Structure 1
Amino acid sequence: MSTLAIEITSERTALVSGAGDEKVELSAENGQSIHAVIAQFSRQHSADAGSPVEVTVQEAGRSRQLTVAPDGKVAQSLPTGPIPAPADTPQPRPDHPVEEPVTMAVTPLDDSPPAGGVDTHARPARVARTPTSTSVLAAPEIPVGSQEPARTGLRGRLNTILNLRIVPKPESAEMRQRAAIASITGPLPGFSIVTIANPKGGVGKTPLAVGLNAIIAEHRGAATTVCVDVADVGGSLADRVSIPPRDGHDVLSLIAAEAAEPGSIRPSALSQYLTRQPGGDDIVAGNNGAHGSSLGYDDTHAAAQILSQHREILIADTGNNRLADSWQWATSRANVLLVPVPLRRDAAAAAHRMLLDLTATAGPAMMARTIVVITDGPGDAPMVEIDAVDAFLDAGVHSVARMPFEPLFASGERISPSKLRRSTTEALTVVAATVIDLIAHAAD
């Protein structure tokens, strides 16, 4: 099987190695994206070769492996041998062993888990280690042209005190955060739904929804994302956000207004039903029971249809009732499924059963768009983590990330993103980047 190594050097250009003796420069023109140009080039190369081609795409320190067949079909894959790299790409140092190859995994903050950082577990099921392969779990290199001085850590302090312009180390947490932010701000194919679900109560669904909504809005801009409480009755989203919604700012009122006058919910009218938070993120409160009915399947779909005209991402904060119609809609329509799991055996078991049931209904593709988020908290049983992570990865989930303990999440009080611990914000940024990457590359 022939191989291609493609490095995206800018929004419009890419450099190809392996297509001949010399490198080939690709250029996106006439409104095309560079990803479309890469796909077209890879398909043509495979057709000319008459055999599948293994393609490694490097972008902003991240790598993806694809297999392109002569008939034009593209599938994500693991490399069958060493991944070719451009000659000017820094290679892993001998004292940093290369990790097991992983497709579309979250990047951890360090080779050894830092205090309060993100520790990511991800691997394909039953794949032997390949010491000569490059892993996306390794620290990403400094993207081409990214020479901004360090702002955190020892180098950041030296820059501030001595007015220097020292750049961060390629393997530093700051560079990984920059890569994550770059992913969050990247293009999306269209309106997407991110569902946060675990049928066990008290596992942190709503805090994760609030935090993720705030992080995406911070980096993509205000009015790009909206978090909706889709619990059938009595969700807690309105009780956890910084600015509580006023009466009438809820999902059923939004649906009723559109039903009474179709097409009336224009941008100027949308603010009557959304509640803007300090960071520019919006929320729609759930059904408080005053309407005398639960939120149904058609109700949830109607709300999403309205919001899809005004926002890029809808984050669905689900309830605990797996039989509720709104829960069924949110999980079946999810482009990405986020599953928070505390280190308690009951919470892990409930999430695992939920995922197995969803897979039985929707097929294995459900696992490929699922991210499990292990959350720290009081009363954790650390011995549960190994069993839980193994069970989720063996089931085929996309990746398993880890969140540090956040007192504000656990307190039950209103969540102000500016008061979150730095480690929590960093972890949420990595999770948000993984969500955006999963959405963006689903159409590849």
Structure 2
Amino acid sequence: MMKTQALDFPRIDAVLRANGTGEVTINGTSHPIQAADEAAVLREALRLISDTAAQLGRPVKVTTIDPDGQGHIVVSPAGTVSEAAPVKPAPRRQKEPVSAPASPIPSVQELTPAPVEPTPAPAAAAHVQPATAPEPAETAQPVTFASVVDQAPAAAPETVTRRSLKETSFLVSAPVLEPATRGWRGTLTRLGFRMEPSPEEMAEREDIRTVSQHWPGPRIVAVVNRKGGANKTPTVVMLSAVLARYSGAATVAWDNNESQGTLGWRTEKGVHDNSVLDLIDSSQTLLSPSTNAAEIARFVHHQTSDKFDVLRSDENEEGDHEVTAEEVDIAHQVLTRYYRLIVMDSGNTARSANWRQMIHHTNQLVVPVTAIEDRAEAARLTLQTLESRGGHDAELARNAVVIVSESTDAKRSMGGDALKRAKAEAQRIADGFAPHVRAVVRIPYDPALVNGPIRYDALQPATQRAWLAASAAVARGF
């Protein structure tokens, strides 16, 4: 008996919003839902949908829409939920049903020895001829390799070769897929209907896995753009926060401006005023085998919620000291002893000694740019300068990650059309860089990145997700 199918009629859309409300639309009739929490919203939505299924006497197909994306489920009249997944391919030992084969399927006679006294071959074992009017998929009986083998006489027993126990294992190496945790699927899972995660959630899990890795030896990320206001400092803070939070690796953000940088202004200040110059002055002590790891706290400023440290640039009001290449080497030697991951902010002069020495130590280059043409042009020239130098510098440019942030200069007063133009400009710039670098990631506008100290938890969910994707793109270069 054929199972009752879930048809596309009636059209049912179920929306679960980030603010905890929902809506079920059945053939154009809207049913808004407000409840105490997501689970209550979903229970009411399932009641409306299952009532519709009961009236029709069959399951119904539902399009689910939530902040994580769009999906499809099937709801029965009894309220049972299943996933409307695409038809899975047949197992490897079978072949797809053939209606008009390019070459004949082997018959039983071709696969097995002929009997002593030939008898008429059964119809099921005959060569399959091209069908002029194929039967419906529900009633067709496809000829498969498995069905042909099942009809063949048993082969002569073969000698069994014993295998070594060393070549056998009962361990299951494939990881178990955890059920969905977000959106409609996650809420259904919490209500007892185990649902697979959406493609969006699977992509997020993969990004988390990537940034959670530990690599042998330290890794240095340089964030560069010769134009000021290109979002270098927010990029340093966000990459440091995401990598430190997920990997748990000791991470430091180093302000490598040649004089006075702004990284210290956008992050928490510790109980001291020490900067990179103080660390350099104390380098012999910090590199001594008798010095313990906790001593580095005298020179860096810990970010209590984002779990990374900041090495500030010199904040001498007179600003009469410029960091040299030798001092970059000394600071690098100290920091790689205490940290696994170093994210470096930089100044705007690609010709300065400390900038070039930073590049010498870099493993992964990141080029931030806002969606404004002069910032994009400065980013292009920065990459062009490195590429023209050849060798290690050119390799960094080719494998760079470009991070395009939507304009922060005028968005607070933008209307709908202006916002669309800003997004289109960000996409145009991203598309322009894509053929020349390893990865390009777009970051949406977020007011939490504009002024004051930057905190990962203060960002909107979409911005957090974008920075996770950017950090994963960077980590893939490690």
Bin for the TM-score computed over the shorter chain: 0.5 to 0.7
Instruction: Please say if 1:418 is aligned against 2:461.
Output: no
Tell me which of 177, 180, 195 is aligned to 2:207. 180
TM-score calculated relative to the size of structure 2:
0.57
* Corresponding position: 1:253 with 2:278: yes
CA distance in 1, matches of 2:397, 2:174: 33
- Give yes or no for the alignment of 1:366 onto 2:396: yes
Aligned to 1:332: 360
Displacement of 1:341 in angstroms is 1.1
Supply the RMSD in Å over aligned alpha carbons: 2.5
1:225 matched to 2:251: yes
Given that residues 286 and 296 in structure 2 are in contact (C-alpha distance below 8 angstroms), is that contact kept between their aligned partners in structure 1?
no
Q: Does residue 299 of the first structure (1) align with residue 299 of the second (2)?
A: no
Tell me, yes or no, if the aligned pair for 2:259 and 2:314 is still in contact at 8 Å. Answer: yes
TM-score (norm 1): 0.61
Q: Counterpart of 1:308 in structure 2: which amino acid? A: T
Matched residue SS, 1:271: helix
1:360 shift after superposition: 0.7
**Aligned-partner SS, 1:239:** helix
The answer as to whether partners of 2:266 and 2:452 remain within 8 angstroms in 1 is yes
Cα distance between partner residues in 2 of 1:294 and 1:206: 19
Q: Which runs of 5+ in 2 are unaligned?
A: 1-90, 93-172, 411-420
Which has the greater radius of gyration? 2
Q: How many Å separate the matches in 1 of 2:326 and 2:175?
A: 48
String of CA shifts for 1:318-337, please: whole Å, max 9, x gaps.
12222322222223322111
Larger RCO: 1 or 2 (CA < 8 Å, sep 6+) = 1
Q: For residues 103-161 of structure 1, what are the alpha-carbon distances to aligned partners after superposition, in whole Å with 9 as ceiling and x for unaligned?
A: xxxxxxxxxxxxxxxxxxxxxxxxxxxxxxxxxxxxxxxx942422222111122334x
Q: Does 2:314 align with 1:314?
A: no
Which has a greater percent of helix?
Answer: 2
- Residues 331/195 of structure 1: CA separation in 2 closer, same or farther (3 Å cut): same
1:373 deviation in Å?
0.7
CA deviations on 1:53-91 (whole Å, 9 max, x unpaired) are xxxxxxxxxxxxxxxxxxxxxxxxxxxxxxxxxx88xxx
Alignment of 1:149 onto 2:176: no
The residue that corresponds to 1:4 in the other structure is: none
**What is the DSSP-based 3-state SS (H/G/I as helix, E as strand, rest coil) of the residue aligned with 1:193?**
strand
What whole-Å deviation, never above 9, does each CA across 1:183-216 have from its counterpart, x for those lacking one?
1122313111101111111111111111110111
Q: Percent identity?
A: 27
Deviation at 1:265, TM superposition (A): 5.1
The count of aligned residue pairs is 294
Aligned AA (2:266): R
* Structural mapping, 1:30-429, within 5 Å: 144-160=174-190, 162-169=191-198, 171=199, 173-221=200-248, 224-241=250-267, 243-259=268-284, 262-263=287-288, 266-278=292-304, 279-289=306-316, 292-363=320-391, 364-378=394-408, 379=410, 381=422, 384-385=425-426, 388-394=429-435, 396-410=436-450, 412-429=451-468
Aligned letter for 1:283? V
Q: Conserved in 2, the CA contact under 8 Å of 1:352 and 1:391? A: no
CA distance in 1, matches of 2:368, 2:286: 38
Range 317-326 or range 305-314, more displaced: 317-326
**For the Cα contact (< 8 Å) 1:332–1:362, is it kept in 2?**
no
Deviation at 1:398, TM superposition (A): 1.0
Aligned partners of 1:415, 1:387: CA distance in 2, in Å? Answer: 27
The CA deviation at 1:163 is: 4.4
Amino acid in structure 2 at the alignment position of 1:249: N
SS in 1 for 2:440: strand
Q: Which residue of 2 aligns with 1:107?
A: none
Q: Which runs of 5+ in 1 are unaligned?
A: 1-86, 89-142, 440-444
